[in-house]
Structure 1
Amino acid sequence: MSIDEALERLRTPEPIAFIDIRSRHHYVANHPVFAVNAPIDSLETHCDTLFGSESATALVIGDDELLTTWASHLITQKTNLQPKVIRGGFSAWEAAGLPTWGGEYTPSKAFGEWVEQTGSMSHISPLEAMKSPVHDQFDVRPLEEFNRFTLPGSRHCPTGRLGALKTQQTHLRVHCAGRTRGIIAAQTLVDLHFPATIQCISGGTQGWEIAGGTRQFNHPTEQVDLITSSEENSRAQVLIKKYHLPIFTATEEVAWLNESRDFRLLTVCEDPLDTPSISPTTLIQSTDQYLGTHHIPVIVEGPHALDVSVTVLWLRRMGWDARIRETNATASQTTHEISAQQSAFVKIEDHCTVIDTRPSRSFSRSRVQNSSWVPRSLFRELLPTVTYVVICETDATKRQTAILLAWLGIEQATCISWQEVSPDLIDHSHIQHRTHPVDQPLFFPNRHHGNLEDAKGYLHWEHSLLPTLTQHGQIPWAPITQTPTQPQSHLTEFYQGVHR
């Protein structure tokens, strides 16, 4: 597909995915605006996370024609998408002067800046917050992040749970590690008519350190008082009625299933569940990690009414056709085949060159002795005259990696899964990679480790996102004070204003 054809397709309000299959490192450095990253190094995993069973056109962009074509074949096998490779790849996209930006979770980050500009939440500077501490100050990030570091005096309460707080305090402050999640949290409390003065601490923990404050590490988790389930349901109804959040009824669900209509079903919960689920806080701040297909309904369920209603409200504001599932899903019975015996370990001959394609962090923790880390995005560096043993994360990735090697003409290669490696061959000492791994972003990497220049750079980057959008087209979201009756995809809304 040519670039002009791709642009025309992006402007059409029909189911579509825009997928950049380059390595995470290169994607974060610069990528087409609103493209999601499903890197070739872990494409199978990202297909499972980003896409359900929906049918849609998938525009696929890369930086190597053969690798991109192989990726499109894998996408065809793993999903119901119909891939179309953009000719010329990312270099042609750039050369045409089409919109690009860098960073991680950029749609959510840019949207957070829009919420700050058009919403009705209030800020307080870190210095002012230090001078006038309040009793109710909450870190809205997931518990794992809170446990690593937070601000002095903060307690943990993620965004989906904030509306269930039981408090008599007249002042309440929220924050995250930067900007987006704190902004969303503060506006959520305003949306719920929370009976207190709500303030977001500007810049979160990064802004706090830039202002001369210190973080608190390994902070013990203190339980917060929450209202009853029935009271929570009542507060959820406030959002549902105020913002006309649609309910996906059981009758509709049966009809849609009978008609084979496409939709995504997401289970959300701020607390860990035994079944797969997503934290509302995490979903809202990184939608491009979970939702890859535009113009299909997103049905949201979960055990807590506020988690669900808060998620649906924010997804709709971002342009997703999100709806509340009327009834909880019956847990699907997933069965796993367990072999009666341990798979036989594969013998690795001494004359073979051993390369490992697993994620770089896994390789750092443990690896076959004398092996090298070579992800699939770097397979062009392999030599056809060398005999390789290629270690893959799973049997599924082993099969697909073998196909890619054959496409590249690397015929003397044997792919094995990590489970087929004898424990006697594994080195468990932790190592550092000599160069930065391409499957990890290099984006102000020390902003949470006391590097104030990185923290300043990151916050400046967040401020730059809306000007980047307006430079190329238009802001694709309605002001937060407006309640869209029918959400419009930010992907399509933006590219309708982009012209070569």
Structure 2
Amino acid sequence: MAKLISAYELRRHWVNHQEIALLDVREEGPYSLSHPLFALSVPISEIEQKLPALVPRRSAPVVVYDNGEGYVDRAAARAKSLGYTDVAILEGGLAGYARVGEVYRDVNVPSKAFGELVESINHTPSLSAREVKNLLETDPQVVVLDARRFEEYNTMSIPRGRSCPGGELVYRVFEVVPSPETTVVVNCAGRTRSIVGTQSLINSGVPNKVVALRNGTIGWTLEGFELEHRKEERALEPSSQATKLARRHARSWAEYVGVSMIDGDKLAQLAATPAGPYPAEFARGHPAGFSNAPGGQLVQATDEWVGVRGALLVLYDTDGVRARMTASWLLQLGWEVYVLDENSTVPADLSIAKVPSWIPPEAGAISTEDLKRLKEVTVVDLARSPSYRKGHIPGSWHASGPELIRDLKTINNKGPIVLTSPDGEIAAANAGYARNAISRDVFYLAGGTAAWVEAGNAVETETRWLSAPIDVYKRPYEGTSNARKDMQGYLDWEYGLVAQLANDGVSRFHVVRNQRVQGE
């Protein structure tokens, strides 16, 4: 059995900036209802697939918890089987933690809470949906920059919006905006990326008036205004002159905030420390050892890229703009962060922690042709439910990954069971566990549903649930079918995050006020 760690000790790691990764091994639905500030959603059934990228160094402290479901011993064992050497169980689980610290709703909470703090400290300018609509109708020169990922923008956007993800704003603004007198509106689906994007442009010293669309597309929808769909307009790639100007502005702000620039030699020194760097930014022609993390999303959803709170981050780009601006925010979010100078050469022998690898077992693997030959077979899909809804092997059932055994026991026929998942890895990781827990033949489909499709086989969309799907939290700010009460409830929750942060006391956030004279 793994050792125990108390909630007090866990919180001391955060306050003292000591490395630690906290894993909520329940499904995302329950996680989204209540979790500690820096908890990561890593369902027990997905540990082999998700954990190595989030925690690449196997000596990093890892803590697992649930809310009494009985997952933690198994989760700790699975983490140890990947080679993690310092694995602990949170004493008392979620309920025990809630007695000493704040618990939060939703996902990507640290970034969202930080965004609210940024607005509170800097009084980030914003306009209501009605004010922005009036502005668009009266000023043909207004530029609207949508700071979300392109896929989100393509799904729904406000009139005259063009895609410019948050990490690209300073990089592209001087190419997109025709004159210093042009008003710039930054929007997202809710609040965070609008606030941080607007403040990025203001902090960098652009001469334009910049405002956020208050409450994003949610606010636009609640006001009764129509959104546009399937737009594909993107902010232009900057010219060399625009890039030079953006670099000057980004460099000035990064220096003001205190972002540390390093060269290849310093990177090698950092890599040699026990903690080692956590390479988190990627660009075309990226150095070996760096991984892809678009700057805006890295600030908006840091917990989806970096699992170890207290880790050391190194960012890189090829333009001298995006990494600096991203680092300026991560520094304020409480991370130790450095930027590798874009003109530096990374040492060929750089010592970067090798990401733990997991190799699917050969035992129990079958091919698509083997699957077709099986009699009275039941196919069980461990995909996330939205993926399952989009298309799955005909006749297959959806099961809960963490509650796989419970769900498999509800299957009536006595024939073999074949587990599948989008690429087969999650199915492979859970097949042995299922085989040992039930008295039936259990196989997994090598290559998963993707292999089924690649072999020319059809999929269907009719759903069959072995239990209610609680594996994914329905985000009220994504998609086009959200209830008004859910959208308003989400906004009300965001407004209360600053108070929660103050009561919790573990964030280590520090928002830098821009007190420079315009033009510095």
Q: Give me the TM-score of the superposition, normalised by structure 1.
A: 0.84
Residue 345 of structure 1 is matched in structure 2 by 369
Is 1:357 paired with 2:389? no
Distance in 2, matches of 1:156 and 1:271, equals 23
Distance in 2, matches of 1:250 and 1:444, equals 43
Give the AA of the match of 1:153.
Answer: R
Distance in 2, matches of 1:472 and 1:295, equals 17
Residue 59 of structure 2 is matched in structure 1 by 55
Seen in structure 2, the aligned counterparts of structure 1 residues 161 and 345 have a Cα distance that, compared at 3 Å, is same
Contact 2:168–2:296 (CA<8 Å) still a contact in 1? no
Q: How does 1:38-437 map to 2 (within 5 A)?
A: 38-53=42-57, 55-63=59-67, 66-78=70-82, 80=84, 82-94=86-98, 96=99, 98-133=101-136, 134=139, 135-164=142-171, 165-166=173-174, 167=177, 168-170=179-181, 171-221=183-233, 223-224=235-236, 226-228=238-240, 229-258=243-272, 261-268=275-282, 277-326=292-341, 327=344, 345-347=369-371, 349-381=374-406, 382-383=408-409, 388-393=416-421, 394=423, 396-405=425-434, 409-419=437-447, 427-432=458-463, 437=469
Residue 493 of structure 1 is matched in structure 2 by none
Distance in 2, matches of 1:446 and 1:316, equals 28
Moved more, 387-396 or 245-254: 387-396
Distance in 2, matches of 1:367 and 1:159, equals 34
Residue 518 of structure 2 is matched in structure 1 by none
How far 1:328 moved relative to its partner? 6.1
Seen in structure 2, the aligned counterparts of structure 1 residues 294 and 93 have a Cα distance that, compared at 3 Å, is closer
Q: Give me the TM-score of the superposition, normalised by structure 2.
A: 0.81
1:340-383 CA-to-partner distances (Å, cap 9, x unmatched) read: xx967334532444322233233323333333111321124133
Distance in 2, matches of 1:227 and 1:81, equals 49
Task: State how many pairs are aligned.
Answer: 475
Distance in 2, matches of 1:300 and 1:265, equals 6
1:234-272 CA-to-partner distances (Å, cap 9, x unmatched) read: 233222322221013211222344556522111245999
Distance in 2, matches of 1:482 and 1:81, equals 43
Contact 2:61–2:86 (CA<8 Å) still a contact in 1? yes
* Equivalent in 423, 440, 451 of residue 472 of structure 2: 440
Moved more, 362-371 or 276-285: 362-371
Contact 2:63–2:89 (CA<8 Å) still a contact in 1? yes
1:100-153 CA-to-partner distances (Å, cap 9, x unmatched) read: 111011111111000000125311122222222242221111222112211112
1:299-336 CA-to-partner distances (Å, cap 9, x unmatched) read: 0112332111111111111011111013365999x9xx
Identity among equivalent pairs (%): 20
Moved more, 372-381 or 226-235: 226-235
Any stretches of 5+ residues in structure 1 without a counterpart? 484-500
How far 1:85 moved relative to its partner? 1.1
Residue 511 of structure 2 is matched in structure 1 by 479
Contact 1:447–1:454 (CA<8 Å) still a contact in 2? no
Seen in structure 2, the aligned counterparts of structure 1 residues 64 and 473 have a Cα distance that, compared at 3 Å, is same
Any idea what SS the aligned residue of 1:36 has? strand
Residue 362 of structure 2 is matched in structure 1 by none
How far 1:186 moved relative to its partner? 0.8
Seen in structure 2, the aligned counterparts of structure 1 residues 426 and 356 have a Cα distance that, compared at 3 Å, is farther
Any idea what SS the aligned residue of 1:138 has? strand
Distance in 1, matches of 2:84 and 2:27, equals 23
Distance in 1, matches of 2:368 and 2:186, equals 53
Seen in structure 2, the aligned counterparts of structure 1 residues 353 and 214 have a Cα distance that, compared at 3 Å, is closer
Any stretches of 5+ residues in structure 2 without a counterpart? 360-365, 516-520
